[in-house]
Amino acid sequence: MNAVSMRYGFFLAAIFLISFVAVGWQIVLMRCLLIARYHHFSFLVISCALLGFGAGGAILALGGAWFEKNSENVLRWGTLVFALCLPASFKVGELLPLNVYFPPIAWGSTIAWWTLFWVVHSLPFLLAGLLIGLALMAGKEEVPGIYASNLAGSAAGAIGSIVLLARFPANGLVLVLSLVVLVSGLFLLFAARTGSAAYSWVLAGTAIIVSAGFALPPDRSFPLNVDQYKPLAYVQQLEKQGAAERLISRSGPRGRIDVFSSSLFHSLLALSSREAPPPMDMLLVDGFQVGSILDIKSEKDARFLDSALYSLPYKIIAPKRVLILGETGGVHIWAARLTPADSITVVQPDANIVRVLREHASHVFDDPRVRIGVQEPRAFLDSTDEVFDVIQFAGLEGFAAGSGGIGGLREDYLATVEGYGKSLSRLSERGIACVVRGIQEPARDNLKIIATWIEALERAGAKAPGNHLLLARDELSFVTLVGRSEFTDTEVNAFREAARKMSWEVEWFPGIRPEDTNKIHVLPGPGGKSWYHEAVNKLLPTNREEFLDTWLFRIEPARDDSPFFYDFFKWRSLARLAEVFGPLWPARAEMGFLVLLISLLWAITFASILIPGPAILLIRSAEGPSFRYVISLAGYFGCLGIGFMFVEMSFVQIFTRFFGDPVIAAGVVVGTFLFFAGIGSFCSSSVSRSIPGGIVSVGCIISLFVLAFTFAFPLLLESAAGASEFCKYSIGIGVMAIPAFFMGMPFPSGLMKVHENAAPAVPLAWAINGFASVISACAAVLIAMVWGFDALLVSAAAVYVIAGSLFRQIGNRGFLQGDSPCYSPLNQKGIK
């Protein structure tokens, strides 16, 4: 290998590492936001990243000549600033008083703080976008190789960050990624023909300072500003006061796990026992309480659980096989161990939670009947052929969506019509499914659960869904029991007797009369009935659409195509909530959709501010392209950004169900797309020349693949549900590889055309692509929530057809005002 190729190799390695950090930093921020706030805000982080990339392109467009002239120094010193910007932006971001509730009295200040947070965290991505964009701008013939290194590094960052999260806490990766950027600076030093003593010394000194930061634990050097209303903030305060003790703190790719012990904890849902419960430890994942680990040693000490609502199925039938989906604290396991069941199957997707329960002093798994499956509950249902007498939906247990409705952005493939339908198929003939969830005012969660079960029963062929339902509640929570077969008189009588003994309020059973309800724990409703009983009457007939349409919240069943169970947002509810609750209405609203909409408006606003200026200056310059050419360029590179994000985000959600793990799905999908897109970028020139029609045909090929997969995915998911993990990953990568390969071609091919015909417009193309990706990151989630992922994929297919049709126009010299120079400093420096 000669010296020139070695220098070029170091240059590509530097671009690879910068891209690695740019994507890895996104995942780190998502994890930190999930721990400190109420959601990972993926659309916000992605929009931060792509906004930064777009802003970097806009800056390059404004100062193109200067950046080209000083490209080598800008790349080296810019990398150093990028490395320092990571810890600096993180520290500043954690100092900001963010609020997820958006109270009207502080609406302006809340949005202002979030906007500042968005801007602060966009700065590292601006630097990354500027560095990568400058490399693409300065290199002409090298564009495919540079873009391929960019995509390969991004792919490695998607998967590598997940691997790192398995070994480091999220806030502990701040310094790790900063060091990776410094290594890229070292490679840039090797790539240059002439050295720089000043840069070498500063780089070495910075590396020493960053490395010294590892002497402190992450929670001291980069503490997370946990929201004051999160359970983690509460128990941390107790810990400072000496009233609680942290027993376990463990990080993994699925989240941070903390276990605290305190005599003050009493957090069991749906407990009407006359006996005092035993001591319990609190289990938190990413700052949320997900379970209570009881400090009991035997089934005898667990007898008090007979008075919990989730024990109700065992009072109706004597199960032989019990399935517990999403167990966290072990409470449901103890309740099942009190029964004569022959087998108790526990499914929990987080291996770290399983380890915590195994190691806990209660030894809840120490029963030969208990089997553990580390798998996503929906993936387990899709892959098993077993049948069960009782299925407990432990993962759905909890109070209202809460958190200002931010949880509405979260997907759940178990709580869909198809997920409930799969549960019905896994029940024995007399089997019962059980869901316990907290009571809310106004009602929404439990009404949506009921509506979803009714539709699932109808799809399964039930002629009278009401005869398959038993509903009851206590002062805190609501239980929904669903039978695969219609409940018999004996089972209904057992249900009513159990409710009478435990002073539970019955809301529905076959043959119920209005006077049977609302006697003990009285709730508001029409004619002395509660709204729960009234809702079942409205949801069962064929005219249920009127009730769904007029109810204050969105309680239509979630489906696999739009699996947002926790989304209850309705525009018409805002005025009513403000009227009833006054300034406290956000605490009762579902703000997730509004936060997403605000993020989309932010992205559009910033794009509207930053794009027109460089475009106007470019058109007015002596050697700039015409207005018509810039419009074509904006359409082409904008469509590529939109199409890529639409497809990628759709595949992440679809493969979450297939792989059974959202973190692994995100890593595999993003990594696969970027890796094969990088290969496609590298081969773009030769492949596009060999295909009749070139990039125009490539756009059509991508569109056809996307449309084909839209219809083929359901069949794929069903037929391969029982395959091994290795086979699933192989199938998934194989499915994504072909479209991703072709999706990597249009961008470098278009950029090379711009290089040939209007070189000063290269940074503008980079900026437009970035801003289009910013906007589409938020728009994709909105489309999926309103119309579903199928609509999102169809939209992506249409966008790629449009992009293909615009390719010839950006290569049409008739659109230019004059010939544009194709200056390439990297070529003149000898980097090839």
pLDDT digits (tens, 9 = 90+) for 276-322: 678 889 998 888 888 888 888 777 788 888 888 999 999 999 999 99
571 shares its domain with 694: no
298 shares its domain with 180: no
Could you give the CA distance from residue 169 to residue 176 in angstroms, rounded to a whole number? 11
Could you give the CA distance from residue 199 to residue 629 in angstroms, rounded to a whole number? 41
Q: Is residue 45 part of a domain?
A: yes
**Residue 249 bridge partners (DSSP):** 258
579 shares its domain with 604: no
The secondary structure element, H or E, covering residue 420 is helix 417-425
Q: What's residue 183's pLDDT?
A: 93
606 closest CA partner among 800, 457, 770, 428: 770
pLDDT-derived band of residue 831, with 50, 70 and 90 as boundaries? very low
In the block, tokens 């709580």 appear at 415
What's the number of domains the chain is made of? 2
Residue 300 CB burial class (10 angstroms; 0-12, 13-18, ≥19): exposed
The mean of the pLDDT values for the chain is: 83
1 or 306, greater pLDDT: 306
208 shares its domain with 314: no
Q: Can you state the angle between helices 662-682 and 143-165, rounded to 10 degrees?
A: 160
- Alpha helices by DSSP H, 683-745: 684-690, 695-719, 725-743
For the cut 60, the answer to whether the pLDDT of residue 1 exceeds it is: no
Q: Considering 587, 611, 634, which residue would you say is the last residue of a domain?
A: 587
Distance in Å from the first CA to the final CA of the chain: 13
State the DSSP code for 18.
Answer: H
Q: Considering 550, 565, 587, which residue would you say is the last residue of a domain?
A: 587
For the cut 50, the answer to whether the pLDDT of residue 827 exceeds it is: no
Q: Is residue 229 part of a domain?
A: no
For the cut 90, the answer to whether the pLDDT of residue 151 exceeds it is: no
Question: Which of 351-355, 628-632, 685-689 is predicted most confidently?
Answer: 351-355
Q: What's residue 590's pLDDT?
A: 65
90 closest CA partner among 147, 22, 29: 29
780 shares its domain with 647: yes
State the DSSP code for 479.
Answer: E
Could you give the CA distance from residue 55 to residue 709 in angstroms, rounded to a whole number? 34
Mean pLDDT of 575-600: 70
Q: Report whether 504 contacts 496 (CB < 8 A).
A: no
The pLDDT tens digits of the residues spanning 438-457 come to: 888 778 889 999 999 999 99
Among the residue ranges 126-140, 389-403, 641-655, 677-691, the one predicted with the least confidence is: 389-403
Give the percent of the chain with pLDDT over 70: 88
Q: Is residue 273 part of a domain?
A: no
Could you give the CA distance from residue 529 to residue 614 in angstroms, rounded to a whole number? 64
Say if strands 505-508 and 288-294 run parallel, antiparallel, or are unpaired.
Answer: unpaired
Could you give the CA distance from residue 375 to residue 384 in angstroms, rounded to a whole number? 11
50 closest CA partner among 609, 592, 617, 645: 645
Q: What's residue 826's pLDDT?
A: 36
776 closest CA partner among 749, 756, 760, 795: 795
Q: Is residue 90 part of a domain?
A: yes
570 shares its domain with 617: no
Q: ω before 442 within 30° of 0 (cis)?
A: yes
Chain-centre distance for alpha carbon 397? 21
3-class SS string, 311-376: HHHHHHCCCCEEEEECCCCCHHHHHHHCCCCCEEEEECCCHHHHHHHHHCCCCCCCCCCEEEECCC
Residue type, 829: K
215 shares its domain with 156: yes
580 shares its domain with 520: yes
Q: Is residue 516 part of a domain?
A: yes
339 shares its domain with 439: yes
The pLDDT tens digits of the residues spanning 372-431 come to: 998 889 888 988 889 999 999 998 876 444 434 445 567 888 999 999 999 999 999 999
- Name, in order, each residue with C-beta under 8 angstroms of 730's C-beta and a sequence gap of 6 or more: none
For the cut 90, the answer to whether the pLDDT of residue 471 exceeds it is: yes
3-class SS string, 275-305: CCCCCEEEEEECCEEEEEEECCCCHHHHHHH
816 or 426, greater pLDDT: 426
Residue 621: how many CA atoms within 13 Å on its side-chain side? 23
Could you give the CA distance from residue 111 to residue 507 in angstroms, rounded to a whole number? 42
Q: What's residue 570's pLDDT?
A: 82
What is the spatial order of strands in the sheet that 427-438 belongs to? 370-373, 343-347, 321-325, 388-393, 427-438, 477-483, 469-473, 505-508
The secondary structure element, H or E, covering residue 645 is helix 627-659
Q: The whole model's pTM is what?
A: 0.82
The torsion defined by the Cα of 470, 473, 477 and 482, in degrees rounded to 10, comes to 0
Q: Considering 587, 612, 641, which residue would you say is the last residue of a domain?
A: 587
Q: What's residue 4's pLDDT?
A: 42
Could you give the CA distance from residue 429 to residue 425 in angstroms, rounded to a whole number? 10
pLDDT-derived band of residue 41, with 50, 70 and 90 as boundaries? low
Mean pLDDT of 797-810: 89
Backbone angles phi, psi at 651, to 5 degrees: -65, -35
Q: What's residue 255's pLDDT?
A: 77
- Name, in order, each residue with C-beta under 8 angstroms of 114's C-beta and a sequence gap of 6 or more: 98, 598
Give the CATH number of the domain where residue 609 resides. 1.20.1250.20
Q: Is residue 410 part of a domain?
A: yes
- Name, in order, each residue with C-beta under 8 angstroms of 280's C-beta and a sequence gap of 6 or more: 265, 266, 267, 268, 292, 293, 294, 295, 329
Could you give the CA distance from residue 821 to residue 200 in angstroms, rounded to a whole number? 34
Q: Report whether 49 contacts 157 (CB < 8 A).
A: no
Residue type, 402: G
Q: Is residue 325 part of a domain?
A: yes
Q: What's residue 390's pLDDT?
A: 97
Among the residue ranges 158-172, 265-279, 677-691, the one predicted with the least confidence is: 265-279
For the cut 50, the answer to whether the pLDDT of residue 653 exceeds it is: yes
Give the CATH number of the domain where residue 406 resides. 3.40.50.150
- Alpha helices by DSSP H, 469-611: 489-501, 531-539, 544-550, 571-581, 592-610
Residue 620 structural domain: 3-222+599-823
425 shares its domain with 367: yes
547 shares its domain with 637: no
pLDDT-derived band of residue 69, with 50, 70 and 90 as boundaries? confident
Q: Is residue 270 part of a domain?
A: no
477 shares its domain with 350: yes
Among the residue ranges 205-209, 355-359, 466-470, 575-579, the one predicted with the least confidence is: 575-579
Question: Which of 199-208, 245-254, 597-606 is predicted most confidently?
Answer: 199-208
52 closest CA partner among 137, 150, 134, 123: 123
Question: Which of 130-144, 373-387, 493-507, 540-554 is predicted most confidently?
Answer: 493-507
